[in-house]
Structure 1
Amino acid sequence: MSRQTRRTGTFLVTREHKRFVEFANAVRRNATIGLCHGRAGVGKTLSARRYANWDLIEPLITTWGRREDSDKKVYAASSRARTLFYTPPVGGSISALRKDIQPFIMRLCVCIDSYGNPKWAERPLTPLGLIELVIIDEAERLTMTGLEFLRDQFDRSDAGLILIGMPGIEKRMSQYPQLYSRIGFVHEYPPLSKDEMQFVLQRQWRKWGFGQDDADFTDDRVAAAIIRLTAGNFRLLQRLFMQIERIARINEMAAITEDVVEAAAQTLVIGNAN
């Protein structure tokens, strides 16, 4: 099942996303702390938001206005995920965390409880209530006191905690022995492999109504150009797809060529994808 978002396009359930789900499930099941790291654009945030059903849940708990009948689907998603996703502001201090995250905890717990699952009544009262997993994206933004606040919340609850960041975050966390000693799992989120890239390309070809032929030299060169330009970076791949589609539509093209790919790449800031 895929979900269309304005910025990222259709979500693709890749092998790396499945590995992230396994990692998140293990952290939640063992009520421990997990670190997830990977280069920018490989899909860490997308996978985490997908796991938490955050595209559906976030609008409701952010605005938190009058309840509507349509909110029932959010209650159901909240009950399934039981996961809070949060991105701290730059310089995420303890005061910012308290101001932002505590209302989200309360509202998400209300959504979970509103689904009417009687099991929740048996759970002990903790700072995280009915939430079983908290995912903090861009965890490098947290200050030392912010990290200590999260550790305290973790210690006084029966929930798991995932900190997501860039490569090297595990070295930074080692500077905080009280938190680091509680880490149970570390997961590296790598770029897409060549096989994964081929899968994504084939799916995109079908979406555009083109048939990618492995025996066609032109198709092979197009695929090779896209793989070379993006180097498995999922975010860059999605941006390149949008530009390819735009150019092909403007020029009313019946097939994607290597020239189209190169023209699309020239409109992007590619940088060093390695």
Structure 2
Amino acid sequence: MTGYRNGNFIATKEHRRFIEFANAVQKHRYIGICFGSAGVGKTMSARRFARWDKVEPFLLAWGPRDPSDAIVHEALEKARTAFYTPTVGGNIREVREDLRQLMTRVDGCIDLALHPGEIIPSLFRSDRAELLVIDEAERLSTQSLEYVRDIFDRTGIGVILVGMPGLDRKLERYPQLYSRIGFAHHYRPLKGDELTFVLTRHWRKLGLQLDDADFTDHQAIASIARITGGNFRLLQRLFVQIDRILKINELSLVTDDVVEAARSTLVIGAT
């Protein structure tokens, strides 16, 4: 995973692999697919690449202009990326309108960054964005997938479809789209040293020091790894409960018992 939507961001190996993948799709203007289990960090990495946490509120509000808008324009000019999440059950008309509006606004902001001070850039172009990332791609209907392929063919923009494992097999049923896929990225859970690195950050947030050479810490790490499987979202949820249990019981050590108590409060399936 990558970190938190609001707050400390952890750039893991998987995140850096995603950035390399996204850069390749953007540079070579292919269609790429990114798939991985829920909670491993796909969406966070994609939003980070697109600088979407910074620009999304601005694009959604789309109100009167302000000098501070330049910050958003510059962020979009650097990323040259649009991020889109289709609604559940959204039809082709909705997807078409959403993407038309999104791409128009993104291209317009990039133009304003390239031509600051101009009310209407004299050299406005509708192809400033170089990459379109579509999250939750399984939600796209057959017609919507065909529309995305048409956007790719007509504009030459790179496209990344993000979804769950099996997305690649689903897309095999659409040969015209599948034949255009140039890159695939399997976003994997945390494991080994990388999991320990992320856990060290969590320990610090609790005001504690993690020592994997200490048997108690080692035992807690093993329990956390077993419970979460390296899933970043589950790690976050679990540590919220660990923090709560430590405070309630006035404890200063994360033990196997504390981890199991935290796990008992969550609905995360069998471990």
Q: Same fold (TM over 0.5)?
A: yes
Cα distance in structure 2, aligned partners of 1:272 and 1:109: 46
Counterparts of residues 110-149 of structure 1 (less than 5 Å): 110-116=108-114, 125-126=125-126, 129-149=127-147
Q: Give 3-state SS (helix, strand or coil) of 2:216's partner.
A: helix
Name 2:169's counterpart in structure 1: 171
Counterparts of residues 191-270 of structure 1 (less than 5 Å): 191-270=189-268
Name 2:55's counterpart in structure 1: 57
Given that 2:33 and 2:160 are in contact with CA atoms closer than 8 Å, whether structure 1 keeps it comes out as yes
Which amino acid is 1:110 matched to? G
Which aligned runs of 4 or more in structure 1 are off by greater than 4 angstroms? 123-126
Name 1:150's counterpart in structure 2: 148
> 1:89 and 2:59 equivalent?
no
Q: How has the CA–CA distance of structure 1 residues 205 and 170 changed in structure 2, closer, same or farther, with 3 Å as cutoff? A: same
Given that 1:62 and 1:104 are in contact with CA atoms closer than 8 Å, whether structure 2 keeps it comes out as no
Q: Which deviates more from structure 2 when the two are superposed, residues 87-96 or residues 55-64?
A: 87-96
> 1:80 and 2:99 equivalent?
no
Displacement after TM superposition at 1:61 (Å): 0.2
Displacement after TM superposition at 1:176 (Å): 1.0
1:143-167 superposed Cα distances (whole Å, 9 cap, x missing partner) = 1110111111111113100001111
Displacement after TM superposition at 1:51 (Å): 0.8
Q: How has the CA–CA distance of structure 1 residues 209 and 117 changed in structure 2, closer, same or farther, with 3 Å as cutoff? A: farther
Q: Give 3-state SS (helix, strand or coil) of 1:163's partner.
A: strand
Given that 1:92 and 1:146 are in contact with CA atoms closer than 8 Å, whether structure 2 keeps it comes out as no
Name 1:68's counterpart in structure 2: 66
Which amino acid is 1:157 matched to? T
Cα distance in structure 1, aligned partners of 2:269 and 2:90: 28
The TM-score normalised by the length of structure 1 is 0.90
Which amino acid is 2:167 matched to? I
1:233-264 superposed Cα distances (whole Å, 9 cap, x missing partner) = 11111111111122223333222222221111
Displacement after TM superposition at 1:189 (Å): 0.7
Displacement after TM superposition at 1:117 (Å): 5.9
Q: Which deviates more from structure 2 when the two are superposed, residues 254-263 or residues 73-82?
A: 254-263
Q: How has the CA–CA distance of structure 1 residues 264 and 117 changed in structure 2, closer, same or farther, with 3 Å as cutoff? A: farther
Q: Give 3-state SS (helix, strand or coil) of 1:115's partner.
A: helix
Q: Give 3-state SS (helix, strand or coil) of 2:210's partner.
A: coil
Given that 1:135 and 1:162 are in contact with CA atoms closer than 8 Å, whether structure 2 keeps it comes out as yes
Which amino acid is 2:46 matched to? A
Given that 2:107 and 2:125 are in contact with CA atoms closer than 8 Å, whether structure 1 keeps it comes out as no
Cα distance in structure 1, aligned partners of 2:52 and 2:187: 19
> 1:5 and 2:8 equivalent?
no
1:108-140 superposed Cα distances (whole Å, 9 cap, x missing partner) = 11221222269xx9x9955xx211000001111
Given that 1:76 and 1:112 are in contact with CA atoms closer than 8 Å, whether structure 2 keeps it comes out as yes
Displacement after TM superposition at 1:3 (Å): 7.1
Q: Tell me the number of residue pairs that the alignment of Structure 1 and Structure 2 aligns.
A: 266
Name 2:39's counterpart in structure 1: 41
Given that 1:194 and 1:232 are in contact with CA atoms closer than 8 Å, whether structure 2 keeps it comes out as no
Percent sequence identity over aligned pairs: 54
Q: How has the CA–CA distance of structure 1 residues 4 and 189 changed in structure 2, closer, same or farther, with 3 Å as cutoff? A: closer
Which amino acid is 2:96 matched to? R
Q: How has the CA–CA distance of structure 1 residues 164 and 54 changed in structure 2, closer, same or farther, with 3 Å as cutoff? A: same
Q: Which deviates more from structure 2 when the two are superposed, residues 153-162 or residues 108-117?
A: 108-117
Displacement after TM superposition at 1:272 (Å): 4.4
Q: Give 3-state SS (helix, strand or coil) of 1:40's partner.
A: coil
Displacement after TM superposition at 1:192 (Å): 1.1
Question: What 5-or-longer segments of structure 2 have no aligned partner?
Answer: none
Cα distance in structure 2, aligned partners of 1:215 and 1:3: 25
Q: How has the CA–CA distance of structure 1 residues 125 and 77 changed in structure 2, closer, same or farther, with 3 Å as cutoff? A: closer
Q: Give 3-state SS (helix, strand or coil) of 1:85's partner.
A: strand
